[in-house]
Chain A
Amino acid sequence: MNSIPAPDVDLISLAPVLVLSVFGFGVLILDLFIGKNKTLLVYISLVGLLVTVVSTFAKQGLPAYSFSCGYVVDNLSVFFTVIFCFSSALTLLLSDNYNRREGIKTGEYYSLVLFCTVGMILLASANNLIMVFLGIEIVSICLYVLAGIRRDNLASNEAALKYFLLGAFATGFLLYGMSLMYGSAGSTNLQKIAAAAAATDNGLNAFMILGVVLFIIGFGFKVASVPFHMWAPDVYHGAPTPITAFMAVGPKAAAFAAFFRVFITAVPDLTSSWSLLISIIAVLSMTIGNLGAIMQTNIKRLLAYSSVSHAGYILIALVAKNSMSTASLLFYMLSYAFVIFGAFGIVIILGRRGNENLEIKNYAGLAYKHPVLALSMAVFMLSLGGLPPFAGFVAKFYIFSAALSEGHVLLVVIAVLNSVVSFYYYLKVIVYMYMQEAQDEFQPTLAPLSLLVVGIAVLGTVLLGVLPGPVIDLAQIATLI
């Protein structure tokens, strides 16, 4: 009888996941021993994320494979891990004040954010369909709970239930797709799938193609792309605002990371089959996301639709499918993280207990009462629209360049026309802040931690826009898998 082989595990390369899990459990246990004030948990979680980032750089000589090549740590996953930890840290900073204000006293909140981050790191490092599935499930389950963590709030409950039901449905598609790919290739390892797909006649294998299509549906749901975006506005609206920001950045980036890895590593030969499909999804996401956003009067819903359209822009990078497009994805996600956290940070600051001030018309005249807050929000809106000299412009320039270098002119023209449409609603926020007189007096909650997040976000948005060079260099290094 053969002895069971021990899996080849590279513990140093696994350190981020391990460290973060330990901190997650630690926070969970510590929660039992501290009182109502959960601020301590925020700081411990932040330390955990910091240690995770440091441990990410511990491993030399990438890429490092573990678990029979099911888990890979390479420059790409390192870059993503940093983005994830960064976005989780900003989420925690925003949460402290928000949770106190809204009376969210559950300590699990913080450990769920950490566990969710673990899932995201798994996703970015997954080199095996099973690992992808594990990552997706860890992320999703944490988010289902986080979305509904305001138990006494109807919208929050609705968000959680809707997200859970639709998410479970989408996971079913994903799993079915994976099983078809497995059935056709005989392995769940991405490289082996690629080899198997190449071996069959021109990769034209019906099961494989069906699997890929189902896979796209599942992922399309996770990144909120049209026509699988229906959950996004309601969930973004109902979830606690820091979690909304978190969902718009971290898990989305993680899903894109896995999306890219699976499609570029496992099924590169099926390009002709899936790139058209993804182009269509990209165009639909941009167009419907932007048109939907025009009608919104609620800032969270507006940002939800805008996030749908941004998913469309990012999918353009997937269509382009070269090293430049992967680097552009990294740059886009980083700049998007700054902008989104900044914008939601302002939304949180402008709210008050019992009155979240989520209607855009509540922002009327803000520029003359709180000029710095209004200017920051204007910067974020213009950056989302893609106006220089802000991060959003460089990010869009990068993605458009990647797509044009592969000759996708039509796709880019559609994208820029969509950008024009998007300016309309981003400007609407500025119109209210600058061009309307204030209607009612309101007192923002000027909490230091939230202001810190906004400060970091403004700094990042402007710096990435004015001096993007170093980050572009890093992103290019990260794509050298």
Chain B
Amino acid sequence: MFLTFVTFLPLAGALVLALFPKKEESAIKQFALAVAVADFLLSLVFYAKFDTGTHAMQFAQSIPWIQAWGISYHVGMDGISLLLYIMTTFLTAVAILASWNVKKHIKEYMMAMLALSTGMLGVFIALDFFLFYVFWELQLVPMYVIIGVWGGPRRVYAAVKFFLYTAVGSLLMLVAIIVIYFLNFSETGVYTTDILYITEHLNIPLDTQKWLFMAFFMAFAIKVPMFPFHTWLPDAHMEAPTAGSVILAGVLLKMGTYGFLRFNLPLFPHASNEFIPFIAILSIIGIIYGALVSLVQEDLKKLVAYSSVSHLGFVMLGIFAFNHYGIQGALIQNINHGLSTGALFLLVGMIYDRRHTRLIKEFGGLAKQMPKFTICFMIVALSSIGLPGMNGFVGEFLILLGIFQVNAMYAAFATSGVIFAACYILWMFQRVMFMELKNPKNQKLDDLNFRELCLLAPIILLIFWIGLYPKPFLKTFDATVAHLITQVDPNNFKPGKELERHALLEETPAQAKAGRREP
């Protein structure tokens, strides 16, 4: 019940916001921020009460929804969702505070932000396929509107591209969901879309697993985004307003990696094992390609956007290591990327607000003019490249450790991504912050104000906290990851049942149908 309340609180806030008069801009902003901060504080209760000793769903709630189809409103949290959930409420509050300078249609903007928050939170807690799909699409519209209305010059193009890319993947996933629904019925005789029930009871033959895996893969790989489905991301980031980019990088991309962990691995363990090389190679291409493309970007925001492709490649690689280190690293790296890249987008937004350009060549020597900005930027940039003592190191180290145990070759290639990351970040940092302050436009820039420091301070605190003492974070997913690993362990597949099911699959569809019709 409490989980539902916290999840829907932002949406309720958005509806209340609709009643505000348009002119009351500061009241609108303050109210939206109050809702988001309250939601964040409430979400911390889950962390406090979370039982790290079990992989079972906690704070669960289940209400029948569409009984004719066995669909229920079923939500709950485990180690995979907990931190992502809290990060979502956190970044929503940050994003709203970062939007203080939005000029036009502030009311609609804040409503979209809050509605977006509910959609994202719902994705991380939905335990019913139908419900999951509803939330998955629910967050699409506000984000589309945020990019399309408050974005840059090519905003409409970017927004529509974002929407259509996501829609392709998610609709294929919908087909797979319905197929699973009927497979489950033919095997267990129960019409249900409950994710936990299906994960536990349904044992899908390998051939079918592969197809279904691919359908889910399309939805999540586009969202992550994995190479070669990443092309919407730079466009979306380039055009999105700062807060939109923060949410996009911080939370929306994580929905993809979350999807792999929640669906692909437990539902299609056999296919997941089969597809390890495929995913690993795409991830490595993503890591190296993303880094190389970042290296040559002239635009700060585009550089950060492409670096996401590279970072998310690490996360994917960690997940498909299928061992404790790898998955744990991937999970913590999810959070790290949300914090570091979110902060980078904030910083880029701050400099854009002052100069109305993001081209690297326009800058240089900012360190003298804006010392606070430079220090913050440096901390965040170093965290992004994984300097020991900061959060990025913990995540990348665990991932590389995990993948090294599986395949040293993958680890070797992936490590090169870390080196490239240092190159593009440090080179960019050098060109923007150091050298001579030549450009006269840069000589009158103001340093960070109080609001901007408030935005960055908690993120920087977390960067060091995770970097120096990651245990409180890592322990939340111990039990869940251990359970997940047993689920994808080939030794735990049921070979007998597998064969039996192969025979069933060799029936012609008509026979299978006839069999299903008979009581």
Contact = CB atoms under 8 A, between A and B. Distances in A.
Contacts of B159: 431, 435
A472 B69 contact: yes
Interface in A448-481: 468-469, 472-473, 476
B68 interface: yes
Interface stretch (A37-45, A168-176, A416-424): A416-424
A180 B171 CA distance: 42
A334 to B, nearest CB: 15
Contact of A431 (B137, B160, B179): B160
Interface string A394-420: 000100110011110100110011011
A431 B66 CA distance: 33
B296 interface: no
B134 interface: yes
Contact of B167 (A404, A420, A469): A420
B281 interface: no
Decide if the interface of chain B is mainly helix, strand, loop or mixed. Answer: helix
A389 interface: yes
A416 B175 contact: yes
A304 B171 CA distance: 24
B163 A409 contact: no
A468 B64 CA distance: 12
Interface string A414-442: 00110110011001000100110000000
Nearest to B181: A401
Interface string A371-409: 100000000001000011100010001001100111101
A405 B69 CA distance: 13
A413 B175 contact: yes
A67 interface: no
Nearest to B211: A409
A420 B65 contact: no
A404 B182 contact: yes
Given A420-B168, A423-B167, A368 B66 contact: no
Given A397-B174, A409-B175, A416-B174, A367 B141 contact: no
Interface in B37-87: 65-69
Contact of A419 (B138, B141, B167, B509): B167
Residue among A388, A401, A409, A419 facing the most chain B CB atoms (10 A cut-off): A388
Interface string B148-170: 11000001100110011001100
A431 B67 CA distance: 37
Contacts of A404: 175, 178-179, 182
Given A409-B175, A416-B174, A427-B160, A435 B141 contact: no
B175 A472 contact: no
Contact of A469 (B66, B108, B137, B181): B66
Contact of B141 (A382, A469, A476): A382
Contacts of B164: 420, 423-424
Interface in A5-43: none
Contacts of A409: 175, 179
A388 B182 contact: no
Contacts of A406: 513
Contacts of A367: 108
A416 B141 contact: no
Interface of B: 65-69, 105, 108, 130, 133-134, 137-138, 140-141, 144-145, 148-149, 155-156, 159-160, 163-164, 167-168, 171-172, 174-175, 178-179, 181-182, 509, 512-513
Given A417-B168, A423-B167, A472-B68, 18 more contacts: A371-B108, A393-B134, A404-B175, A404-B179, A405-B182, A406-B513, A407-B512, A409-B179, A412-B178, A413-B172, A416-B171, A416-B172, A416-B175, A423-B163, A424-B160, A427-B163, A431-B160, A473-B68
Q: Nearest 4 A-B pairs (CB), nearest first? A: A416-B171, A388-B134, A407-B509, A472-B68
Interface of A: 367-368, 371, 382, 387-389, 393, 397, 400-401, 404-407, 409, 412-413, 416-417, 419-420, 423-424, 427, 431, 434-435, 468-469, 472-473, 476
21 contacts: A368-B105, A388-B134, A388-B137, A389-B134, A393-B137, A397-B130, A400-B178, A401-B69, A401-B182, A409-B179, A416-B174, A417-B171, A423-B163, A423-B164, A424-B160, A431-B156, A431-B159, A434-B149, A469-B67, A472-B69, A473-B68
